[in-house]
Chain A
Amino acid sequence: MGRDTSIGGAQHQFPSTRFSLIEGVRSGNPQERERALDTLVGAYWKPVYKYIRLHWNKESEPAKDLTQEFFVHLMERHLLDRFDPARARLRTYVRVCVDGLVMNEDKAAQRFKRGGDRTFVPLDFESAEGEIRPLEIAAPDDPETLFAREFARSLFGLAVDRLKHECDEKKKSVHYQLLDLYDIEEGGKMLTYDEVARRFGIKPTDVTNYLAYARREFRRVVLDELRGMTATEEEFRREAQTLLGVKP
């Protein structure tokens, strides 16, 4: 489990200035390249795994192999070097690459079995598998919609983790806990501000202010994370529209 955190190593370092993921992947600086790949894997491995499981109807074990293979493939073949933001969003490009890999599954499986000396990306598949069950019921037919939804879930998850970390650092844990109660936990919105204030030992007016702060910061963090995942301002804006449910 210890190495799991390295999947999204950057998540726990929370760089104050965002870098472009694509620039990072293409960088000649090995450290920057590794950090960019860490970020990419951290944001995309769950969407990729769930997509292979649900859209391609793969069993758990083959899906794990294909997910591993995909990221190794992505790194070794420098697939992101071929990404052109003028032609597609990065999210779409990643999904199309996954499709290409799965369609050549047999060949990939053989390569995978031969590749005894490669370094695999350690991923916590058990957690992803646990998340699959509720999705199986409502998996949309449209692959783009499925992948976009899982990408949003992954990115929002990263943003929630980062917000918690930042609030803890700024001694504003209660602010985060209020967001958690109201916007993440089920049924939190049923409570009145007075009830919440009593629970946290704060004034009812503080509930409003703390919650506003947490939501404002959440928006900032989400957009900041997203900016790091996009190559151009235009792609960033379009992805933000999709992510926030804004009609383009």
Chain B
Amino acid sequence: MTRYLSDSALERLREAADAPDLSGTRYRLVEKLGQGGMGGVFCVEDTELERRVALKVISVPDGEGALSARLLQEARVIAKLEHPGIVPVHDAGVMPDGRPYYTMKLVQGKRLDEYLGTTTNLSDRLRIFLRICDPVAFAHAHGVLHRDLKPANVMIGPFGEVLVMDWGLSKMLQSGEATGPLASQNSETAGATPSSMQTAHGSVLGTPGYMAPEQVRGDTKLDQRADVYSLGTILQFLIADASPAPKALVAIRQKATATDAAERYLTVPELAADVAHFLDGMSVSAYPEGPFGRAWRWIRRNQVWILLLLAYLLARTLLIFWRPR
């Protein structure tokens, strides 16, 4: 007769089967942090360095090795991208049960979608957006597309640091795929093996609602404008509460998420520049203004000086009319 398992026993066995097999490694399991479609992320203790790190491991069977290759590619991509906005990788290897893993810095913060409740100020949100753009632009400059940018993949650390996470779907651009500033920098993708460059070619990977149309279609030749589109959807997510959203900001979002990639910003720095200009009260490329619009923006930008000038003129006028006789 088959052994009966209670609900709690079933849950414990599920955890036991899913947990990383750390025997023979320097790591000791602390707790599970999260779960994605491909693998789980666990908090583990590095017993040699006496610190806690995050360990990512494949959870599902991987008969053909495609997931293992992708995890390894992710680790290598992150290892190459040394940037304050990208979590550093510490170590990679294979567990005794054959599953590959890598360890990275343990980030204890909030996901962007969870963090937004703590700040309603539009300027603060746009500054966060600019800090999301930084590591993405850095990755593009090193020939790497993220391909899964969304609020859930952005972490805000306890000291306000902004980190772009989950590079599991990232892709190395091949020569000829890049346009603009990337074209001359593709030689810096050294270490990208042919297999890593071909990973997931032709297959639709990403998150619906955040993916560029060409990514949804499964186009094989994506470029940085696919990430520009995803950043545009994040911008939309950040400004959704602003009612009504400033027209220039809406125009930036619309340009970033244009259905036709040719109508989008060519690069992330161009998108970031427009957002920065908006923050500084300057004109943005996505929103052509007429003379009245320019004048109004000039007034808003210089309103303090204008008010001081008006106050001065008013005082002088009063002095003229009410001068004691």
Contacts and interface: CB of A to CB of B under 8 A. Distances in A.
B282 interface: no
Interface stretch (A100-108, A110-118, A152-160, A195-203): A152-160
A4 interface: yes
Given A218-B13, A236-B61, A244-B59, A134 B5 contact: no
A218 B16 contact: yes
A131 interface: yes
Contact of A216 (B6, B8, B63, B96): B96
B68 to A, nearest CB: 13
B5 A160 contact: yes
A42 B96 CA distance: 31
A213 interface: yes
A141 to B, nearest CB: 17
Interface of A is mostly: helix
B19 A158 contact: no
The DSSP consensus for interface residues of chain B is loop
A219 B2 contact: no
Interface string A106-138: 000000000000000000100100110010001
B59 A233 contact: no
B3 to A, nearest CB: 5
A212 B2 contact: no
Interface string B51-75: 0000000011101100000000000
B35 A247 contact: yes
A132 to B, nearest CB: 11
Interface residues of A, number: 50
Contact of B63 (A179, A233, A244): A233
Given A153-B10, A156-B10, A246 B1 contact: no
10 contacts: A127-B1, A138-B7, A156-B14, A157-B5, A158-B2, A183-B15, A186-B9, A223-B61, A233-B63, A247-B36
B14 A184 contact: no
A241 B60 contact: yes
B1 A124 contact: yes
